[in-house]
Structure 1
Amino acid sequence: MDGKQGINPRGKSIQIDFYYLGIRCRETLKLEPTKANLTFAKRLKSTIQHEIAIGTFVYSKHFPQSKNAILGSKTSIKTIEEALNDYIKSARRTCALSTWKNYYSAIEHHLKPSFGHIKLVDLTASTIKIWMGGLTISPKRINNVLIPLRTILKDAFFDEIIDRNPMDRVSNLPVRQEEPQPFTPDEVSRILAELPQQGKNLIQFAFWTGLRTSELIALEWGDIDWEQGVVRVRRACVHKKIKQPKTKFGERDVLLFPPAMNALKDQKQFSYLADGRIFLNPRTNKPWETDGQIRKTLWQSALKKAGVIYRNPYQTRHTYASTLLSLGEEPMWVSQQMGHKDWAMIRKRYGRWIPAVNKEAGSKVMSLWSQDSHKDLLNV
């Protein structure tokens, strides 16, 4: 009896070699390779092959201690769709609603249609890369779509359902950071002139506080400290739900410059007596629920009428930051006003609007070029 039959003596044991679910399996029997034991091993292999053929083979029944015992079990044939379903249920309890909705959309519109039918053990890195290459969405969106897939495959690897994680060989796509496109003072004036009064109050307040749209529409009159001249940002409205800011730095007091204060004073006639939300949709006289409502009912038409090149409403925040920085306000203070953890984001995104602290910076080194005593130093 030899290895051609898949029965191989190995010292004081016998190895059985067979294929199951397309995977080559080698199992060791702790039996001396005597003639009788080799005959037993051959019969065992025949039994295994017969059970595989008729679909009754249970790996763990024959080799309960084997690392391959999971093969053929419910977990080993678990599909991507089943894993994603489990993931999205769990994520609902741990993720913010807006994040969960993004993951749900990625799963339903991209991951399930493309990979849902594939078993976890069969998904390969090349399959994922080919799929990524055929997508027409932005690189940033592709990276976000991959998040649920990365998570379920990481879990499957840790649970030893798969031997290798294909996502270890799939990198995120490079994403180009969009440059801020702030509005000029003239453009701001033209936009405000084309808005109905309540819309004008909202957008003027946005330009002069730098608040995110989700923060703007969640503001209540009780958030205004008239004596201190600040607005206390404590919540946001995301997907029609009130939530706390993502980080503790998002909770902040923002100084109210005169244009912002004037917008509030004018808005009083529309919503102050209700003692609730400050800014209302003029079409319904009810609080705004989403940023999309503002964009579609106010913003787009105002920019078109004003003859201003279209940029999204988030550029009001960029306009606020660039205006303050170009006027010489302390970057760290501007960062705090905008709800950033530190001023790294300010430096990265708005660096070109930060004036030089010392107009003569660099002049001392430049002067060396005109000094003969330093020619050797500079001749490099």
Structure 2
Amino acid sequence: MASINSRAGKLYIDFRYFGKRCREMTLLEDTKPNRKRLENFVTKLEAEISLGTFHYEKYFPNSKKLGEFQSLELIKETNSHHDASMSFDNFGKLWITEKKPEWRASQIQNVEDIFRIYLNPFFGKMAVNCIKKSLIMKFRGQLVENGNDGKPLSASRINHIMTPLRMVINEASERFEFESPWKNIKPLTVPKSDIQPFDLDEVMQILDNVRTDFKPYYTVRFFTGLRTGEIDGLPWKNVDFQRRQIIINQAIVNGEIGATKTQGSNRLVQMNQLVYDALLAQKTISYGKSEFVFCSKNGSPLNHRNITKRVWYPLLRYLELEKRNPYQTRHTCATLWLAAGESPEWIASQLGHSSSKMLFTVYSRFVPNLTRQDGSALDKVLKEKGLL
């Protein structure tokens, strides 16, 4: 039974929902007219709870309890729709709620954006069991033509949008026992990644001309292969000067510190002399000022978009080098290690790859001697044996 009470001269409603006690404050002064007004509100609230049609968000859209009860309401709605007539929108919300413990905050945001911008406007009100293959193909066709805002989308982006759609539909078909329409729908062909590493002369040209306060930053990027989120989220506690190692176990994405890209990305990165000296130089700048090795003037983590716009691209223009995104520092590091003859297995471990396969697939064309494309390796052996 709900009740109307007062605290600090303001009225609040006290009731139970899903067996939990709820107290929701109002902005109403404790007066007889306002209590009468709330009585009507409470009567309607109790009636909807009894009928099973109550939705917390409808009554208390700004409540701190909203997330907790939205999940319970979705589960209840799922259990009550054994005929698979649950809307795509509602089942998608439930699916995201269930998957959140498995995902990083950035991934959750990415998936929620895909539903909000692309999936729900097209499929939202449809019952999940009414979504046919023809509708899926029509949806993808629209993405190919003009995306959601009239701009063309890349094949990679379209595949990223289609992935949660496939997962939701297949999960719904298994849960509600209907045949999944997702049959023989293959991902679009994605062109190979645009790998544009710098050569060693270009690297040294960049480091000789970059702003002094950013020279340690780009030195570490070029000679460790750290991802942007890994270097921007690197804390001083993870820099071991004694062992000459950098511990990678976190990254910053969209301003939030979280786990690295994959479990295999957690690793120990060895410092060469250039990296060691760069970190010692950086220590005089930021150690004690911030927990992060590389930080802004107020000690907060770097904003990589701002740094790219204000430091990286202007430097490339000044040096008349082809415009390339900062991630090419990672590709550069990989090709330099390969060209120097380092073990592919060691390089893979330093980059946080699970195997060396990607090195040969992605980088081998930049290092002809590694793949023996010139045939010189066999000639050398034959000469040593006196066969040539």
Query: Aligned residue for 2:74?
Result: none
Q: Percent same amino acid at aligned positions?
A: 28
Q: Which residue of structure 1 lines up, in the alignment, with residue 363 of structure 2?
A: 350
Structure 2 residue 320 is matched with structure 1 residue 307: yes
Q: Distance in 1 between matches of 2:320 and 2:265?
A: 34
C-alpha spacing 1:226/1:160, structure 2 compared with 1 (3 Å): closer
TM-aligned CA distance change 1:237 to 1:364, over 3 Å: closer
- Aligned partner of 1:253 in structure 2 is 268
- 5+ long unaligned stretches in structure 1: 1-69, 366-380
Aligned to 2:89: 81
User: Whole-Å Cα distance in 2 between the matches of residues 364 and 276 of structure 1?
Assistant: 53
Q: In the alignment, residue 122 of structure 2 is paired with which amino acid? A: S
Partner SS state of residue 268, structure 2: strand
Structure 1 residue identity aligned to 2:235: E
Deviation at 1:115, TM superposition (A): 1.5
Per-residue CA deviations over 1:25-82 (Å, capped at 9, x if unaligned) read: xxxxxxxxxxxxxxxxxxxxxxxxxxxxxxxxxxxxxxxxxxxxx9x95754322112
- Compute the TM-score of the two structures, normalised by the length of structure 2: 0.69
Q: Measure how far apart 1:279 and its partner are.
A: 0.5
- The amino acid across from 2:170 in the alignment is K
Equivalent AA in structure 2 for residue 361 of structure 1: L
| 1:134 correspondence with 2:151 | no
> In the alignment, what sits opposite 2:233?
218
Match of 1:19 in 2: none
Q: Which residue of 1 aligns with 2:45?
A: none
Change (3 A) 1:188 1:285: farther
- Shift in CA distance, 247/131, structure 1 to aligned 2, threshold 3 Å: closer
- CA deviations over 1:254-287 (Å, ceiling 9, x no partner): 2212221222122122112336211013xx3423
How far does residue 188 in structure 1 lie from its aligned partner after superposition? 2.1
Say whether the 8 Å CA contact 2:233–2:257 is kept in structure 1: yes
Deviation per residue, 1:341-376 (Å, 9 max, x gap): 1211112111232624783427999xxxxxxxxxxx
Amino acid at match of 1:192: L
Does the alignment pair 1:274 with 2:289?
Answer: yes
Is the CA contact (8 Å cut-off) linking 1:198 and 1:279 kept in structure 2? no
Q: 1 CA distance for matches of 2:354 and 2:315?
A: 33
CA distance in 2 between partners of 1:333 and 1:73 (Å): 53
CA shift, 1:249, in A, is: 3.1
> Aligned equivalents of 1:124 and 1:291: distance in 2?
42
Q: Within the alignment, does 1:241 sit opposite 2:249 as a pair?
A: no
Identify the residue that residue 11 of structure 2 maps to in structure 1: none
1:113 equivalent in alignment to 2:121: yes
Distance across 2 between alignment mates of 1:248 and 1:89: 22
Q: Does 1:101 align with 2:116?
A: no
Q: Corresponding residue for 1:35?
A: none
* Aligned-partner residue type, residue 359 of structure 1: S
Distance 1:212 1:86 in 2: 33
Residue from 153, 156, 160 that aligns with 2:176: 160
- The one-letter code sitting in structure 2 at the alignment partner of 1:157 is S
- SS of the equivalent of 1:237 reads strand
Partner of residue 329, structure 1: 342
Determine the C-alpha separation between the residues in 2 that align with 1:347 and 1:243: 30
Match of 2:163 in 1: 147
Q: Using the alignment, how far apart are the partners of 1:209 and 1:231 within structure 2? A: 9
Distance 1:158 1:188, change over 3 A: same
Tell me which residue corresponds to 1:359. Answer: 376
- TM-superposed deviation, 1:194: 4.5
- The residue number in structure 2 matching 1:64 is none
Per-residue CA deviations over 1:225-271 (Å, capped at 9, x if unaligned) read 22222222222112222223344432222221222122212212211
Q: TM-score normalised to the size of structure 1?
A: 0.70
Structure 1 residue 217, shift from structure 2 partner:
1.2
In structure 1, what is the Cα distance between the partners aligned to 2:380 and 2:132? 58
Contact residue 228 and residue 327 of structure 2 kept, 8 A: yes
Whole-Å separation in 2 of the counterparts to 1:115 and 1:264: 51
Tell me, yes or no, if structure 1 residue 297 matches structure 2 residue 297. Answer: no
Amino acid at match of 1:304: R
Post-superposition shift, 1:211?
0.7
- Runs (5+) with no aligned partner, structure 2: 1-77, 144-151, 383-388
Residue in 2 that maps onto 1:27: none
Describe the SS at the equivalent of 2:269. Answer: strand
CA distance in 2, matches of 1:102, 1:87: 14
The answer to whether the 8 A contact 1:79-1:118 is kept is: yes
The Cα of 1:197 is off from its aligned counterpart by: 2.2
- Work out which of the residue numbers 89, 101, 125 in structure 1 matches 2:133: 125
Partner of 2:192: 177
Query: What is the DSSP-based 3-state SS (H/G/I as helix, E as strand, rest coil) of the residue aligned with 1:126?
Result: helix
Task: State the number of aligned residues.
Answer: 293
What does residue 57 of structure 2 align with? Answer: none
Whether contact under 8 Å (1:245, 1:251) holds in the other structure is: yes
Q: Residues 138 and 112 from structure 1, CA distance in 2 versus in 1: closer, same or farther, beyond 3 angstroms?
A: same
CA contact (8 A) 2:238 2:247 kept: yes
Structure 1: how far apart are the matches of 2:252 and 2:83? 40
Other-structure match for 1:62: none
Q: Please give the alpha-carbon distance, in whole angstroms, between the structure 2 residues aligned to 1:360 and 1:137.
A: 44
Q: 1:298 to 1:164 in 2, by over 3 A?
A: same
